[in-house]
Every structure is written in C-alpha cells, then in structure tokens.
C-alpha cells in the first residue's frame, strides 16, 4: 500500500492482550478517529484534546448502555502517531471490545496491521527507527534489565551515540566535495594525512559501538548455559537449586538424566536458558548414548558452560581435559558435594574460575549465582547507553566501518577524491538506514510486522 494513502485512512485495533481483564483498550488513529469514536460512545459533553472523559458504551442496535469507559482524545500532532488518536478504555470484556471494533469498521475505519500505530509514529517523525524498534523490545522484555535497556533506546540513546560519528562523516564529505567543486578557485585540497585521521576517528567510534553487540545480543535474546560433568556429581541437584524448585529428577543412581532438561531464569538481568545434560561417560545402553551425544552437542553450542565436579574425589583425567578445552570460553568449574569433604584442596591446575558448593545443604549457592552473573555481565565495563541489541543495527554499523576501511585504503592508493567519496557516501547510507532516513519500504514492512496488533 502506498504511504500517501495510509494517511487518509483511520485504523482501529484492540491494544490490550487477548482475553478477559479489568481493562480493555480500543485505539483509533487517523483523520476520522474522533468522528468514528463519537459514534461508539455516549458522552455528556464533547471530547476535548488531552482530557479523559467518562462515557457510556452503547448497544448499536438498541442504544442501551452496555458499559462505562474512559475516553481520551489526542489531537494531531500531539499524539503517539502524530494523527488524531482516540483511546476507549472499557472493562476488559472480549464481547464489548469486539463490538466496539466492529462498529468502528462499519463507521469507516480499517483494522490496523501489526505495528501500524508505531509505524505511523515513525512516518510522522515522532520517533526514529531505532526508537520504534525499542517499543517492540520493551513489550517483549522478560527482565527489568531488558526493560531498562529498551527504555533507553526508546529515549533515543542509540541515535545520540551514532550522531557524533555521523556528523563527523558529513563534515568530511562536505570538505572533500568543496575541494572538488571549487578546485579552480584555489581552494586548498585537504591533505591525505588529515583525511586518514578523520576516517580513523569516525571508524574508531563506530567500531567501539559495533563491539557492544556481543553484550547487546545477550540482553535482547538471552543466552544458553549448559551444566555438564560426569554422572552423579550433582548436576541435576544444582539445576534445581538454581531454579529454586524441583525441576529435574534426582536419584542416587548414576545416569538418571538421559535427555536435555531445560528451564529459564534470570542472571544479572539477562534471560538464561539453563540446560541440565546427561553425564559424560561411556554409555551403558543406546538411550544413554543418545543422551551423551546431545550433551556434547550442547557443550559445543552453549554460550556459558558450568562444569560440575565431585569435590569428594580426586580430579579425573577426562575432567581435566574437559576443563582445559574450555579455556577462553565463558565457563566455570563447580566443585560440588563439599559437605562430603569440607577440607578438600582445590586442584592447583584449574584454568577456570572455581566455586565450591553443596547442592544438598545449599552452601556456596550465593557465590555460584554471583560467579555466573559475572560471566554474563557487560564485558570490559562498556557503556550500556546506546548499545546494539539488534542484528540489523549491527550490520548497519559494521557496514559503515567496512566502507570507511575501503575509503582509507583508497587514500593510501592516491585514488581521486571523487571515487573516495563513493565509499564515504556508502558509509553514510549505512548510518542513515540505522535510524530510518534511507530505509527501504520492504525493510520497514519486515520490522513492523513483528509487532503485536494495536501497537
């Protein structure tokens, strides 16, 4: 659909989750929102901008009162969408809400597509694309930390972080353009050394931003933590302790866990998929062999690995090899069953962080939680204001860095500034796509289609 025609349509949707609740909100936006909404309710006085009015919801066939609602009218351009917008907050009866939508459709409204209200806010210039995407992230947040990062993005944190590099890039482009346009007027040509310095400064700022994606990806999507070790070392018991409930079956018989058992928890505000695995040993039967194979696959794929040892017995050679193979990864060693050997010495050659626990008594569990939270926290203490949480954002910033690298190489090869500018403009287009200045319509459709209806 053409963008011009969208502005002529009034859209309607239920903006609260499906089901029954104390409150349900029907939202209308567009040039006829006030007119259509007035046909859905009976109010003692006319709706006024930015004021809530108590009104009656009436049966369209009999004109009898069905419900009472608070109705709020936001006149353009002072609304979320930049258009006339009306919100009807009735009781959360699906029957009433559905009736309001159906009557609005008969009155000339169109059912809103997923994310269309936020899309209109973007098209009206109320928010840029990073802020619009942060709305979805806030709705989908599973932890308070995720919500805090999304709220910062909604406030324009990422746009503000990109802006200095973008401004420096625009200034460099203008400098080179002036040197080309006014070459015959004795305008001094910018020295190569200055061009390289400016490019390196811009690339450095964007490169630092690109590195924030490692942490931002975890904030947005969470990570997977695998609990591995030999049979009967207490993996399932620690799994249950971390979840604070009996999720995995625990027995004294080695090899109880035959398949992957998963559940979710929050560590340091990061959503974590916790995976209890089958014990690593020579399998006794086909079912256990399948479980061991899945454990090794999970060991390779996991973002964080927790190796569990039995602290009451000496370290085995295969356990030492497993620990050594994890050097450089996000991993730690848990020496469990400390209640059986309280005075046991820590093996001197462990290359990973080590925590001593007792899943039976709970001893060491706070220290284990702290150690795990340390593994998933923001690396290198990077600023958490304006980090990259989306693959689309990362690809745009990384594309700009790549284009700047090509420009720097062009300077070294004494390529004419006209050709150098092609790379610089390529970097600028990448940054523009980040916030939406030059984003193609198919990308917009793909982004907003992931929103819920009514937002």
Domains of the chain: which residue ranges? 3-127, 139-212+386-435, 220-380
Q: Which two tokens stand for residue 171?
A: 């200034």
Q: Which two tokens stand for residue 178?
A: 């002036």
Rounded-to-10 torsion of CA 356, 361, 366, 372: 50
pLDDT of 6 reads 53
Q: Which two tokens stand for residue 289?
A: 């062999």
Q: Classify strands 85-92 and 223-229 as parallel, antiparallel or unpaired.
A: unpaired
Mean pLDDT, consecutive 10-residue stretches, the chain (455 aa), reads: 62 92 95 93 89 91 91 94 95 94 95 93 90 90 88 91 92 82 57 91 94 87 88 87 72 57 85 86 70 84 89 85 86 87 59 84 90 75 73 94 94 87 92 79 72 80
Cβ–Cβ < 8 Å for 233, 337: yes
CA 337 to centroid of chain Cα atoms: 38
Alpha-helical segments (H) within 250-364: 286-301, 317-325
| pTM greater than 0.85 | no
For the chain, give percent helix, strand, coil, nearest 5: 45, 20, 35
220-380 placed in CATH 3.40.50.2300: no
Cβ–Cβ < 8 Å for 444, 102: no
Q: Round to whole Å and give the CA distance between 396 and 186.
A: 37
Quick one: three-class SS letters along 258-271?
CCCEEEEEEECCEE
Cβ–Cβ < 8 Å for 10, 116: no
The CATH architecture one would assign to domain 3-127 is 2-Layer Sandwich (3.30)
- Range 190-229 burial, b when 16+ CB lie within 10 A, else e: eeeeebeebbeebbebbbebbbbbebbbbbbebbbbbbbb
- Range 49-70 burial, b when 16+ CB lie within 10 A, else e: eeeebebbbbeeeeeeebbebe
pLDDT of 1 reads 43
Residue 302, C-beta contacts closer than 8 angstroms, at least 6 positions apart: 224, 225, 226, 275
The residue behind tokens 């006030």 is 34
Q: Round to whole Å and give the CA distance between 70 and 23.
A: 10
Nearest to 10 by CA among 122, 111, 113: 111
CA 420 to centroid of chain Cα atoms: 35
Q: Which two tokens stand for residue 181?
A: 């346009």
Rounded-to-10 torsion of CA 356, 358, 363, 366: 60
Q: Which fold has domain 139-212+386-435?
A: 1.20.120
Q: Classify strands 65-74 and 51-58 as parallel, antiparallel or unpaired.
A: antiparallel
């Amino acid at each position: 659909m053409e963008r011009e025609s969208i502005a002529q349509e009034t859209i309607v949707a239920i903006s609260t989750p499906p089901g029954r609740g104390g409150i349900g909100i029907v939202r209308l936006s567009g040039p006829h929102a006030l007119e259509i909404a007035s046909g859905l309710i009976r109010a003692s006085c006319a709706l006024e901008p930015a004021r809530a009015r108590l009104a009656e919801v009436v049966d369209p066939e009999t004109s009898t009162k069905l419900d009472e609602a608070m109705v709020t009218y936001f006149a353009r351009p002072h609304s979320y969408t930049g258009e006339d917008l009306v919100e009807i907050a009735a009781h959360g009866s699906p029957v009433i809400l559905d009736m309001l939508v159906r009557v609005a459709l008969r009155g000339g409204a169109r059912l809103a597509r997923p994310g269309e209200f936020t899309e209109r806010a973007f098209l009206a210039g109320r928010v840029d694309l990073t802020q619009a995407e942060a709305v979805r992230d806030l709705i989908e947040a599973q932890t308070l930390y995720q919500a805090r990062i999304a709220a910062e993005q909604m406030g324009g944190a990422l746009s503000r972080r990109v802006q200095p590099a973008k401004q420096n890039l625009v200034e460099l482009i203008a400098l080179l353009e002036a040197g080309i346009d006014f070459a015959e007027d004795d305008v001094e040509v910018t020295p190569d050394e200055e061009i390289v310095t400016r490019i390196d400064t811009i690339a450095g700022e964007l490169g630092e931003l690109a590195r924030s994606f490692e942490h931002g990806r975890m904030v947005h999507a969470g990570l997977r933590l695998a609990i591995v070790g030999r049979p009967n070392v207490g993996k399932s018991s620690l799994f249950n302790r971390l979840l604070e409930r009996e999720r995995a079956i625990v027995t004294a018989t080695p090899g109880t866990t035959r398949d992957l058992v998963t559940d979710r928890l929050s560590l340091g505000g990061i959503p974590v998929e916790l995976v209890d695995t089958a014990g690593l040993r020579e399998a006794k039967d086909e079912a256990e062999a399948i479980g061991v194979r899945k454990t090794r696959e999970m060991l390779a794929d996991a973002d964080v690995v927790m190796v569990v040892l039995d602290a009451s017995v000496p370290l085995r050679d295969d356990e030492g090899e497993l620990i050594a193979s994890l050097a450089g990864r996000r991993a730690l060693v848990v020496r469990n069953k400390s209640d059986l050997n309280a005075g046991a010495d820590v093996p001197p050659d462990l290359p990973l962080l080590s925590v001593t626990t007792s899943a039976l008594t709970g001893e060491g569990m706070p220290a284990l939680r702290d150690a795990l939270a340390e593994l998933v926290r923001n690396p290198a203490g990077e600023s958490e204001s304006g980090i990259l949480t989306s693959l689309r954002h990362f690809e745009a910033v990384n594309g700009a860095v790549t284009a700047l690298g090509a420009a720097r190489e062009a300077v070294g090869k004494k390529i004419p500034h006209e050709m150098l500018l092609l790379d610089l403009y390529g970097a600028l287009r990448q940054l523009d796509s980040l916030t939406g200045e030059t984003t193609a319509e198919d990308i917009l459709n793909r982004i907003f289609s992931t929103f819920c209806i009514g937002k």
